[in-house]
Structure 1
Amino acid sequence: MGKSLFTVGEEVKIKASGESVTISKCQYVKNMKRYSYIVKEYPNTFYFEEELTEE
């Protein structure tokens, strides 16, 4: 398990839309061997690291 790319409270962009969002939760998905993120703006949707980019 590596270190997550983004941290809680960090502002990032959704690659598909270019929209700025804020990370509210981060967790490691063991069976997929990668991190998932929930953002404040869309609390019912999760994103993987490759779907997000730094501001």
Structure 2
Amino acid sequence: MGERMRKSLFTIGEKVKIKASGKSVTIYKCQYVKNMKRYSYIVNEYPKTFFFEEELIEE
């Protein structure tokens, strides 16, 4: 039938690092992007941009 949404890798309030810069950030908002079949994240430190899971790593 329909595709199942998988669980997001990170949770709101979780501290993670941006792979490209190594900067430590906190997840502010998480949203599933259906047409891309992955989650996007907004972080407290950069509220005007978003990151996909593959751009972030656990701290």
- TM-score, normalised on structure 2? 0.93
Give the alignment's Cα RMSD to 1 decimal. Answer: 0.2
Structure 1 residue runs of 5 or longer lacking an equivalent are none
How many residues were matched structurally? 55
**Shift, 1:15, TM fit:** 0.1
Q: Secondary structure at the match of 1:6?
A: coil
| Seq. identity, % | 84
**Which one has a bigger Cα radius of gyration?**
2
Please give the alpha-carbon distance, in whole angstroms, between the structure 2 residues aligned to 1:40 and 1:48: 15
Superposed, 1:36-47 pairs within 5 Å as: 36-47=40-51
- TM-score, normalised on structure 1? 0.99
Please give the alpha-carbon distance, in whole angstroms, between the structure 2 residues aligned to 1:45 and 1:12: 15
Please tell me the residue identity of whatever aligns with 2:57.
T
Q: Once superposed, which parts of structure 1, at least 4 consecutive aligned residues long, lie more than 6 Å away?
A: none
Q: Secondary structure at the match of 1:31?
A: helix
Structure 2 residue runs of 5 or longer lacking an equivalent are none
Please give the alpha-carbon distance, in whole angstroms, between the structure 2 residues aligned to 1:38 and 1:25: 5
